Structure 1
Amino acid sequence: MPSRNDAALAFLTARRSRPAKLFSHPVPDRAQLDEILTAALRVPDHGKLEPWRLLVLQGAAFARLADLAEARAHDLGGDAEKVAKGRGQYDLGKLAVVVIASPKPSPKIPAVEQLLSAGALCLGIVNAAEAAGWGANWLTGWPAHDPDFAARAFGCQGEETVAGIVHIGTPAADGPDRPRPDLARLVTWVDA
């Protein structure tokens, strides 16, 4: 019988999503963030390709990105709602880690597996930050999926895309948890 890690299982089953817009200071310092990222980088990585890269956003980077999102929304003929949604997470950001999916050419590892590895890294950052006592929230938003914005904001090139922007900070007091999926509705057991 495998050895259980009850503390880890209890953490994962009790982990909750926390709204990034409610995060406050302090945020992790560099040593604390290095610890979080070291844990998160133990992500599944088929073929050891490291098909991702990370950018840490802090300080004035958020104002620059908010302005860039607003300008891009105007370029696209966006209305006030699109502008507000584009600026939102950057106007309120304190510290965030941008995970850039950066697929590598490989005859053995399909691009989709590399993209899933970047997604797993986003969740790894969320879980490691939460385990370290911080609040964490994985966001994207329309600007992150706009190739022009992603190139100008994060230096995305070629096949690179934004897998996630993980905001980290001091969480507000826990409110009610969101509804969780119903296993009976989603899981099918296959015996043959």
Structure 2
Amino acid sequence: MPAAQPEALQFLLSRRSHPAKTLRAPGPDRAALEPLLTAALRVPDHGKLEPWRLIVLARPALKRLAAAAAARAEALTMPADQAAKGISQFADSPLCVAVVSSPKPSDKAPEVEQLLSAGAVALSLLNAALAAGWGAAWLTGWPAYDAEFRAEALGLAAGERVVGFVHVGTAAGVSPERPRPDLAALTEWRGF
């Protein structure tokens, strides 16, 4: 039997994100963030393609993104409540890491595997931040899906996409518990 890490398992069994609107300054500085980013990149990566990249957004960059989101929402004549959700995630965040799927040509690793690897980076970053004691949330929203916003505001190339904006800061209060999936209803056991 492999060496157990009960503390790590207990963390995973009890982890929960913090609503992004409850995150406050301070967020981690560069020295505190680098180990979290290093942990985030330790994910399955078939073919060792590194089909992802990270854009770390501190307050000055987040203010610019909030303004760019407001301008883009206006250009799209987006309803105010929908626009506000995309704008506020940048305007209110103490720190954000955009996790970008950046697929590479490969005969061995289909693009969907590369996309899933990028998703694993986002989850690993979220869990690393939570394990380090920070409040954190993984968001997407319309800014993640709008090609023009991604290209102009974030500088993403054709074929790249945001799999998540991982917001990190100091949690204001305790994150509420929510119902969890029913293992029995979602699991099929074969050969046991």
Shift of 1:175: 4.0
Q: Distance in 2 between matches of 1:179 and 1:172?
A: 21
Aligned length: 192
1:1-192 correspondence runs (5 A): 1-191=1-191
Deviation at 1:25, TM superposition (A): 1.6
Q: Which amino acid aligns with 1:128?
A: A
The unaligned stretches of length 5 or more in structure 1 are: none
Distance 2:133 2:79 in 1: 38
Q: Distance in 1 between matches of 2:133 and 2:43?
A: 20
Shift of 1:101: 0.2
Distance 1:96 1:86 in 2: 13
Q: Secondary structure at the match of 2:47?
A: helix
Q: CA deviation at 1:88?
A: 1.6
Secondary structure of residue in 2 paired with 1:48: coil
1:53-102 CA distance string (max 9 Å, x none): 11100122112111111111121121212221221201111101111100
One-letter code of the match for 1:77? T
Secondary structure of the residue aligned to 1:70 is helix
Tell me if structure 1 keeps the 8 A contact 2:20–2:136.
yes
Structure 2 CA distance for aligned equivalents of residues 163 and 176 of structure 1? 25
Note closer, same or farther for the CA distance 1:171–1:105 as it changes in structure 2 (3 Å cut): same
Q: Secondary structure at the match of 2:63?
A: helix
* RMSD across aligned positions (CA): 1.2
TM-score (norm 2): 0.96
Q: Is the contact made by 2:16 and 2:175 (CA closer than 8 Å) also made in structure 1? A: no
Pairwise CA distance, 1:5: 0.8
Per the TM alignment, residue 38 of structure 1 is displaced from its structure 2 partner at its CA by: 1.0
